[in-house]
Structure formats: C-alpha cells, structure tokens
C-alpha cells in the first residue's frame, strides 16, 4: 500500500509538472507573434522561378525616393490619426497623454527633430542613410506587429484594421528602401523580434498595454516626420547634382 501511495504521489507530481510546462508553452504561443519576420522581406517573397527572365530594369534613384516620400507622408497621416484615436478613446486623460508624450520605449529607435547637421550627414553618406532608415523602420514594425497581435487577442480587433493600414504603409516604405539598398549592392543587417523586450511584450493588463501602444504610435509618427525631412533633402540633393 505504501508503494502504491508513493507511486501515486510521484505520478501526480509528474503530471502537474507536465501540465504546468504545457500550459506555459501554450500561453507563450498564444501571446507571442511567431513565424516569418516580414521586415526581412518587405516586398514579399516570390516562389516563382524568374531565372530565365531578363533582369528588371533599375529605376532611377530620384523616382524611387519620390514615390517613397508620398508613402512616408501617408504613413505620417495614418500614424498621427491613430495616435489621436488612442489619446481620445484609450488614454482619455490629457494629463496622462502629456506624461506619455515624454516617455520612450527601451529598444525603440531614438526619435528626434531633424537638425541641419542630421540633414547634411544624410546627404554626405547616402548609403548609410538608407541602411539606418531601414533599421529604424524595421524596429518600429517589430513593436507594431506585437501591438496588432495583442489588439486581435485582447480587444476583439477594435483597432486592428487601423493598425493594419498603418503597418502596410510602413512596409511599402520599407520595400522602397529595400529597392534602393539592393540597387546599391549593400547588405542589410536585419533585426529580430528580440529588439522588443519581454517586459514590453508581457503587457496583458489593459492600462499598461494602452500606454505602451500609445507610445509606440506616437514615436512612429515622429519617425515619419523625421523621414519626411530627411528624404525631402535627399531628393533635392539628387535633383541638383
């Protein structure tokens, strides 16, 4: 009888541990985006063999940047509109909005107003400008991916379409950047989901998650402002060369 009791205790303990592990794994899968990291292939991946086709003609740089500027301005509009919606409907308190405007996520690109020195550096080292801008936007998209993922799970997709529209526009911009970088023959050092900390990913409580998402959209809008100034100057420089 003692043997059976010990065996039963061991079995129960083992079962509980197994359940705990499986529950933990299931929870992680359900609350964390997985699969391909889209920012690595912003223009999409084709499964069609095109090796027998002639190479696609390279577009003039000024043409690519002109199209990119249109997209950046649209991205700025979408992100600022979503920021306003979050402020009015989720943060609500203007005092709290002012406080959140002063905060910045660890791991998120530093956002600032473009200075004359920044513009000069962008024009002097154009390849670096494209690579840095690509990385900045890719990191923002890591945060936006998680924001949309949580919106689908916790908020019944209330703002999922708004987030998707903004996200899609940012990927259009990233695709243009990828085209320029590929044309230059440069290689991109891609970011991973690890740029967003576990602490920021773990925000399942509504208030903290709403604050996190507001800061993400707010700083994404600032990135768009910076890119507008940067690429407008770059376009002017190319046209005058």
Q: Is residue 32 part of a domain?
A: no
Q: Is residue 50 part of a domain?
A: no
Q: Is the pTM of this model over 0.75?
A: yes
Residue closest to 234 by CA, chosen among 118, 144, 82 = 118
Q: Is residue 137 part of a domain?
A: yes
Q: Is residue 51 part of a domain?
A: no
Q: Is residue 234 part of a domain?
A: yes
Distances (CA, A) of 222 to 11, 44, 145, 219: 57, 26, 18, 5
Q: Is residue 236 part of a domain?
A: yes
Torsion of CA 134, 131, 121, 217, to 10 degrees: 20
The predicted-structure confidence for 17-59, as pLDDT tens digits, reads as follows 544 444 444 444 467 899 999 999 999 975 555 455 555 568 9
Name the token pair of 25.
């794994």
- Predicted confidence at residue 241, as pLDDT, reads 80
CATH of the domain at 63: 1.20.1250.10
Q: Is residue 33 part of a domain?
A: no
Q: Is residue 9 part of a domain?
A: no
**Structural element, H or E, at residue 148:** helix 126-154
The predicted-structure confidence for 164-180, as pLDDT tens digits, reads as follows 999 999 999 999 999 99
d(CA 16, CA 106): 37
- Predicted confidence at residue 29, as pLDDT, reads 45
Measured N-to-C along each axis, helices 2-31 and 126-154 cross at an angle, to the nearest 10 degrees, of 130
Asked whether the beta carbons of 214 and 104 are under 8 A apart, the reply is: no
Total number of domains constituting the chain: 1
Q: Which residues span the domain enclosing 89?
A: 58-240
Residue segments in the chain with a per-residue pLDDT below the cut of 70: 1-30, 46-57
- Predicted confidence at residue 56, as pLDDT, reads 56
């Amino acid at each position: 009888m003692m043997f059976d009791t010990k065996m039963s205790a061991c079995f129960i303990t083992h079962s509980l541990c197994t359940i705990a592990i499986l529950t933990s794994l299931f929870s992680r899968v359900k609350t964390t985006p997985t699969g391909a990291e889209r920012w690595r292939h912003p223009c999409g991946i084709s499964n069609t063999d095109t090796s027998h086709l002639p190479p696609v003609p390279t577009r003039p740089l000024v043409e690519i940047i002109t199209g990119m500027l249109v997209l950046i301005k649209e991205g700025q509009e979408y992100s600022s509109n979503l920021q306003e919606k979050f402020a009015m409907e989720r943060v609500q308190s203007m005092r709290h909005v002012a406080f959140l405007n002063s905060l910045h996520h660890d791991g998120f690109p530093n956002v600032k107003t473009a200075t004359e020195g920044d513009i000069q550096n962008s024009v002097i080292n154009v390849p670096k400008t494209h690579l840095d801008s690509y990385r900045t936007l890719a990191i923002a998209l890591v945060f936006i991916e998680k924001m949309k993922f949580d919106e689908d799970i916790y908020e019944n997709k209330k703002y999922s379409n708004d987030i998707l529209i903004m996200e899609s526009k940012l990927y259009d911009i990233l695709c243009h950047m990828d085209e320029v970088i590929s044309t230059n023959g440069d290689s991109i050092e891609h970011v991973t989901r690890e740029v967003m900390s576990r602490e920021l990913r773990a925000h399942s409580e509504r208030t903290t998650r709403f604050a996190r998402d507001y800061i993400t959209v707010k700083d994404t809008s600032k990135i768009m402002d910076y890119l507008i100034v940067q690429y407008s100057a770059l376009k002017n420089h190319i046209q005058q060369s």
